[in-house]
Amino acid sequence: MELAERARAALKRCGVDLPAAVLSGGRTVLARTPVTGEELFPVPAADAAAVTDAIGKAHEAFLTWRTVPAPVRGALVKRFGELLTEHKADLADLVGVEVGKIRSEALGEIQEMVDICDYAVGLSRQLQGRTMPSERPGHRLMETWHPIGVVAVISAFNFPAAVWSWNTALALVCGNSVVWKASELTPLTSHACSALLARAAAECGAPENLNVLVVGDAEAAAPLLDDRRVPVVSATGSERMGGEVAPRVAARFGRLILELGGNNAAIVTPSADLDLAVRGIVFAAAGTAGQRCTTMRRVIVHESRAEELVSRIAAVYARLPVGDPFAEGTLVGPLISASAFTSMQDALSAAAADGGTVVTGGERVDVVGDGYYVRPALVRMPAQTALVQRETFAPILYVLTYNTFEEAVALHNGVPQGLSSSIFTTDQREAEQFLAADGSDCGIVNVNIGTSGAEIGGAFGGEKNTGGGRESGSDAWRGYMRRATNTVNYSRELPLAQGVNFG
């Protein structure tokens, strides 16, 4: 089936007819596919005025939704999860077409959406505050959590559905509405997801416009950063993007949830199980063609194990099936664009100039059409140069060696980003040291697994240039609510705190 036809069929089954939607004219973006490099068809796009209008609609929906009991809000998310399950294959088709993910990864992304809906439904009965002892007799001290308003979700191309759902499922059960600024590279997936959520809302009797989708460029999205009716902005993207977004939202005292760069590493110690390490490293470094925020970009291996580890990774890399993501057996699909390929080649040239050696990979593979398919690259580096300290969003894995554990941790932490990390060791002391306060400085710290593949039950996010935001599980829901500290005087007296006498 032609990719354009495949996309149209999946959209139609999800309740979307995009070609008809653009007949009335107006701004558009062209949907395209990295699988063949071809353009598919135009999709409606928003300008700044349309985004401002979307904020107004979402705000009106919020004013009603915030008064709905949280368990009832959970019923909407439950129905949405059921529709996601029903249309899992359709959405995976769209992710495959627009991002080039292999089938299992595309299906896995949609399953992640189903999982966060399940989590959020349970959360809708657990938005709990605390009751604290008061120092004043006849008083009760407690905290309550309340909906905060419109949540802006700015998502990236590499997870065009899952990251939006992390934010939206939680925002909805917390009593908020959402304006979703989807990536211009993945408008089809975002339209299908939004249509399913709108259907769930209609079936559950929820207000319209609880989620309003806008597809447009950075200039069009500006109102999301500047409008005070948007108290929370959750943005996923590059460090450069975060540097532009953060000051504008902070200038109006808005709240930020940022998920930015990830220059993730694994330490491989003398005691490591190399069978386990090689499997974990290869998936984390080559999965999604190196285009995950949690992609492994550095391996820091003890010099006594370096030759064996490099040899084994190189052997696996050489036989990784690179090709059409819809073909059975493919493990590495295309890069998203020509510019991504250029960035990868520039990084490999810079690595050579820094004294690095490409062990294997890096070359373009002729697969189909004008898609940019590459073999994952393995590069030995003499030191952690300025190049290695930057994130190149492509499948390049730099190998560094170390002598002492302290040196390994220093190399690991010696980059500006702080998202995901891992260590492969069978020495409990080393594992515990890596998890300790003076170990990994990342938001995600793993032992004997790679840097990719986080579960929704834990809070997802990182430190330093990664932005410090948290999404998904644990207590990440608090980022979508406002806290109120309440004191109730049920006595007939009026004692003041700290023994103050104002009589």
428 HSE (CA, 13 A, CB side): 0
Note whether 381 and 287 are within 8 A (CB).
no
Closest CA to 190 of 78, 43, 55, 298: 43
Tokens matching residue 260: 């930015």
* Residue 163 CA, distance from chain mean position: 5
What DSSP line would sit under 14-78, residue for residue? TT--HHHHTTT-S-EEEEE-TTT--EEEEEE---HHHHHHHHHHHHHHHHHHTTS-HHHHHHHHH
Note whether 190 and 160 are within 8 A (CB).
yes
Question: How many other C-beta atoms lie within 10 A of the C-beta of residue 71?
Answer: 12
CA distance 33 to 1: 14
- Decide if 98 is catalytic: no
CA distance 222 to 124: 32
The alpha-carbon radius of gyration of the chain (Å, integer) is 24
Instruction: Point out which residues pair with 459 in neighbouring strands.
Output: 472
| E strands in 149-237 | 150-154, 177-182, 211-215, 232-236
CA angle 48, 51, 52 (to 5 degrees): 90
Question: How many other C-beta atoms lie within 10 A of the C-beta of residue 199?
Answer: 16
Out of 259, 391, 430, 471, the active site residue is 259
Place of tokens 């073999």: 375
**What single letter denotes the amino acid at residue 148?**
I
Q: Give the residue numbers annotated as catalytic, written as ranges.
A: 259
